[in-house]
C-alpha cells in the first residue's frame, strides 16, 4: 500500500506496523531511519515522500517499509 503523507502525524497514523520492522530508504530521500520506531520518532516529514507498506498478510517476518520520493 502506498501513502503520500504530508505531515509526521499522517506518517504515524498510516504506520500500522511493529516498531521493529525494518525501513528501507530509497534513492536520495532525506530520511534517516532503520526501523518503524525511527520513523515514528521523527519530528518532521519532508514533503514529496511516499511510504510503501506491506499488505497486512505479508508483514512477517521479512517485510520492510520503503521510503522513496514521489514520482
Domain tally, the chain? 1
Q: Which range of residues forms the domain containing residue 7?
A: 2-69
Residue where the block lists cell 510503501: 52
Determine the pLDDT at residue 59: 64
Block mean pLDDT (10 aa), the chain, length 71: 94 91 93 95 94 79 89 78
At residue 52, the 3 state secondary structure works out as strand
Determine the pLDDT at residue 60: 67
Q: What is the pTM of this model?
A: 0.87
- Cβ neighbour number for residue 2 with a 10 Å cutoff: 11
Determine the pLDDT at residue 52: 93
Determine the pLDDT at residue 49: 95
Residues 25, 31 contacting (CB under 8 angstroms): yes
- Cβ neighbour number for residue 15 with a 10 Å cutoff: 20
Cell matching residue 50: 511516499
Determine the pLDDT at residue 39: 95
Amino acid at each position: 500500500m502506498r501513502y503520500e503523507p504530508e505531515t509526521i502525524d499522517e506518517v504515524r497514523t498510516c504506520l500500522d506496523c511493529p516498531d521493529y520492522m525494518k525501513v528501507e530508504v530509497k534513492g536520495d530521500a532525506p530520511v534517516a531511519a532503520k526501523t518503524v520506531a525511527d520513523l515514528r520518532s521523527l519530528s518532521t516529514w519532508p514533503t514529496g515522500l511516499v511510504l510503501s507498506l506491506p499488505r497486512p498478510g505479508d508483514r512477517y517476518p521479512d517485510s520492510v517499509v520503503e521510503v522513496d520520493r514521489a514520482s
